[in-house]
A and B are shown apart, each in its own frame.
Chain A
Amino acid sequence: MSDSGRIGQVLALDGPLLDQLREAKAFKTTQNWNLFRTPSTLFRQETAELGYDIEDVNDQKTTLKRLIVGEKMSGKSVHLLQAMSMAYLNKWMVINVPDCQEYVLNQSAYAPLRKKNEADEQVYVQPQLTSDLLTRFAYSNSNLLSKLTPIHNHSDLPKGRNVKTLHDLAMIGAQESSMATRIWDAVWKELTTKSQDGKTARPPILIAIDGINFWMGMTKYHSADYKPIHAHQFKLIKQLLTQVFNTTPNSLPNGGIVLACTTKSNHPSYPSFDLLVNQIRALNQGTQRLDPGFPLWDPYLKEADQRVYDLLNTARNTQLVELKGLSKPESKGLLEYFALSGMLREAVTDNTVAEKWTLSGGGVVGEMCKLGARARTSMFATGPREGVRMRA
């Protein structure tokens, strides 16, 4: 799986893995899965690195945090899909948030939580979205969950429920959105308990979040005073963001990887988040916060989002993964796949590979897939109103 020799190959996803990915909503309708019989994905350099990360976590049970950025159609969502596939094959738990936008649009129910202290910030919950998350979690990880029993005694759950396995526990929240928030807290507590042997063994977790830039600003929700609510005031969002940005060495006690990727299509513009990405890049390269070259807020812009700005305090351990264009061998592998499947009706030579690499803006995967699948008309197609007269 982490074999660098596979770089440039297109590998198929089949078997029970497909069902798991489908239940986790890993496939998107805007991707070109419907052109092929079996979904397949290109093994890239970044895929090999993911494989190395998974092996490290398997050995040492560390927690790795990655923020994946890149231009439009550079393969960020498919990178998450590849990570999920590897996690399922390694018998990990996978928590997937396929679309962060639905958490901020005010299209789902929300309710305030009772504040412990008056001075605290008001926190909100989203029961239906939590329930959807539990549905994806329960169905895609059902094989593993049905073999694990709960360790804790969850007293706040109503009695009379037959909860023998973690799968039963998660399904309660999946089926009833009113209990979803409490069930999610219970499930999370179970998963983050340090693992023991046997039935209480807890596997590593992969958390995959797609479109995290939607969570970096104001939502369309309003408070009781009709003031807009910030995304970080939502409990689920805050919890998942804390997993991405935290300085605790083992935030996932049983090990795991937290992957969050941005989206560049139809995305909101949050300058504070752009600054945060630049700052994380600088931190990864070794520049400290007080060094002269460290990116700072432009004082002539509008006020910064303090909550997003404060994420920098805990962003020390988050690695930035920048997805750039494919290399030429990788693009050749991808185009050969398109040619073998009958989509691309021309010979795949170094010349045509270089041509398509250039036309796709330097190997941007999504653009190259579009070029490979393009239905080109024949050179000899003529018709009425032809400009160049080819006959006497």
Chain B
Amino acid sequence: MPSPSCLLRPVRQAAFRPRPQVLKRKLALIAQTQTRLASNVSGNDQKFTPAPPGEEPKGPNEGVSHSMHVTEEQAAYDKIQGDTPPDIDGQGTPVQEVLQRDGVSEDKIPQVMKDDMQPPGSGQKRSYSTSARRLAHTDMAQSQISENGMVVGMEYPDAGPGHKFPLPDVSSVSRLDHLKRRYDPVVEQVTKSIMRDGKLSLAQKNMSTILSILRTAPPPQLNPAFPGRTLLLSDSASASTSTPQPPNQNPFSPVPTPPDAPPTHLPRSTLPLHPIEYLTTTIDSIAPLVKIRQQKGLAGGGASLPIPVPLGIRQRRRQAIQWILAAADARKEVKLAERVAKTLVEIAEGRSPVWERRGMVHRLGVSARSNVRSGRGGMRRR
């Protein structure tokens, strides 16, 4: 406890370091312990030259000359303490074993213990499978679906395969309820492609005008000169007009649903009444399936090798939108919205040169299809 006068001293003199006298006393104690230990070892008296008394005690390695090897020192310690280490874990018998052994009646045993207790002879039921992959079909084969739809033969019959608790009901929640995904994905992608200088609201106004023009356009007719230029529509007579067929909504179904499929259910004549579906169908129809990547030097003689690369849905749509905007800029209308809308109508009717661009990419992809494996990572086979 520092004296009151110590508080008036500057901080530097606060005693966090032990004073030299205290340190020296401690070192002396250690030296004494070591000499005591050394003297207990038999037959080694002559190896020790303990520090003569009266001299100043030194540090732990200073006073005694260690002619013993470390292992010899350890052996000396073990002999003092005993060769076997103390048995800490094996001090007592587990309670469950005691209860079983003594045959204590069941009502005296606490419930948690009763739950944990297993009858004798029952061990681990789980297979110690180190394989992380469990094939889905083996799971389904093992379980059987009962008549009310519940899957039996599983640990948690209330839930679907691989789940412990029933999944929440997501049927009332749609994509549109999420704030950041509240617009149609195609509409959003086109809007942001039109946007310049970060002016999103202006782009949205233009998009709204485009959709209004699509709405008041006549239904797109097939171009007889180019029968291959069709929209992705099922032009069959059995297509229903009332409600669209939704994709597979069953979350437990193993059949993957294509979420990005274009609305093929709409008849061609009603397309203008659904301007968003009109836009989606047109973009998805004109979108290329691959892009051609030129790999330098692989074709021999320094020439580059064209390699077709598959595109995802968003990449395909982006390519289509870029082609549409480039074709729109070649038109003579003043307003951007009018140019883009009229380009879309031209594409839907098969009159646009954008179809040629798409055809070229596909033809090149087909002719270069053997190059798909070339230049794909790893070692080159010589």
Main secondary structure on A side of the interface with B: loop
A391–B174 CB distance below 8 A:
no
Q: What is the minimal beta-carbon distance from B137 to any residue of chain A, in angstroms?
A: 13
Bound together, the chains give a CA A342 to CA B269 distance in angstroms of: 13
A388–B173 CB distance below 8 A:
yes
Q: What is the minimal beta-carbon distance from B266 to any residue of chain A, in angstroms?
A: 10
Bound together, the chains give a CA A384 to CA B277 distance in angstroms of: 17
Q: Encode contact with A along B291-312: 1 for CB under 8 Å, 0 otherwise.
A: 0000000000000000000001
A386–B313 CB distance below 8 A:
no
- List chain A residues, Cβ under 8 A from B185: 381-385
Bound together, the chains give a CA A376 to CA B274 distance in angstroms of: 9
Bound together, the chains give a CA A386 to CA B176 distance in angstroms of: 10
Q: Which of A35, A380, A386, A392 contacts B216 (CB 8 A)?
A: A35
Bound together, the chains give a CA A181 to CA B249 distance in angstroms of: 72
- A266 CB within 8 Å of chain B: no
B181–A386 CB distance below 8 A:
yes
B187–A377 CB distance below 8 A:
yes
Q: What is the minimal beta-carbon distance from B254 to any residue of chain A, in angstroms?
A: 6
- A119 CB within 8 Å of chain B: no
A378–B259 CB distance below 8 A:
no
B313–A381 CB distance below 8 A:
no
Bound together, the chains give a CA A386 to CA B178 distance in angstroms of: 9
Q: Encode contact with B along A358-392: 1 for CB under 8 Å, 0 otherwise.
A: 00000000000000010111111111111111111
A391–B183 CB distance below 8 A:
no
- List chain A residues, Cβ under 8 A from B275: 375
B178–A391 CB distance below 8 A:
no
B259–A391 CB distance below 8 A:
yes
- List chain B residues, Cβ under 8 A from A34: 212, 216
- A345 CB within 8 Å of chain B: yes
Centre residue among A34, A35, A381, A385 by max chain B CB count within 10 A: A381
Q: Encode contact with A along B172-196: 1 for CB under 8 Å, 0 otherwise.
A: 0111101011011111000000000
Centre residue among A376, A384, A386, A390 by max chain B CB count within 10 A: A390
- List chain B residues, Cβ under 8 A from A378: 184, 244, 263, 276-277
- CB interface residues, A 263-299, toward B, < 8 Å: none
Bound together, the chains give a CA A390 to CA B170 distance in angstroms of: 8
Centre residue among B175, B180, B184 by max chain A CB count within 10 A: B175
A35–B212 CB distance below 8 A:
yes
Please name the residue on chain A nearest to B263 by beta carbon.
A378
Please name the residue on chain B nearest to A381 by beta carbon.
B184
Please name the residue on chain A nearest to B189 by beta carbon.
A383
- List chain A residues, Cβ under 8 A from B178: 387-388
B175–A382 CB distance below 8 A:
yes
B254–A392 CB distance below 8 A:
yes
Q: What is the minimal beta-carbon distance from A336 to any residue of chain B, in angstroms?
A: 16
Q: Which of B251, B259, B276 contacts A382 (CB 8 A)?
A: B259
B170–A388 CB distance below 8 A:
yes
- List chain B residues, Cβ under 8 A from A384: 185, 260, 312-314
- List chain A residues, Cβ under 8 A from B216: 34-35
B312–A382 CB distance below 8 A:
no
- Using known A-B contacts A35-B216, A375-B211, determine if residue A383 contacts B260 with beta carbons closer than 8 Å: yes
- B246 CB within 8 Å of chain A: yes
- List chain B residues, Cβ under 8 A from A382: 175, 185, 247, 259-260
Given contacts A383-B260, A387-B178, 6 further A-B contacts (CB under 8 A): A380-B174, A383-B186, A384-B260, A387-B175, A388-B170, A392-B250
The 8 closest A-B pairs by CB, nearest first: A383-B185, A377-B184, A382-B259, A380-B246, A387-B178, A391-B257, A342-B273, A375-B211
Please list 13 pairs of residues, one from A and one from B, whose beta carbons are closer than 8 Å in the complex, sorted by A's number. A345-B273, A375-B276, A378-B276, A378-B277, A379-B246, A380-B246, A384-B313, A386-B259, A388-B175, A390-B170, A390-B251, A391-B257, A392-B254
- Interface, chain B (partner A; CB < 8 A): 170, 173-176, 178, 180-181, 183-187, 208, 211-212, 215-216, 244, 246-254, 256-257, 259-260, 263, 273-277, 312-314
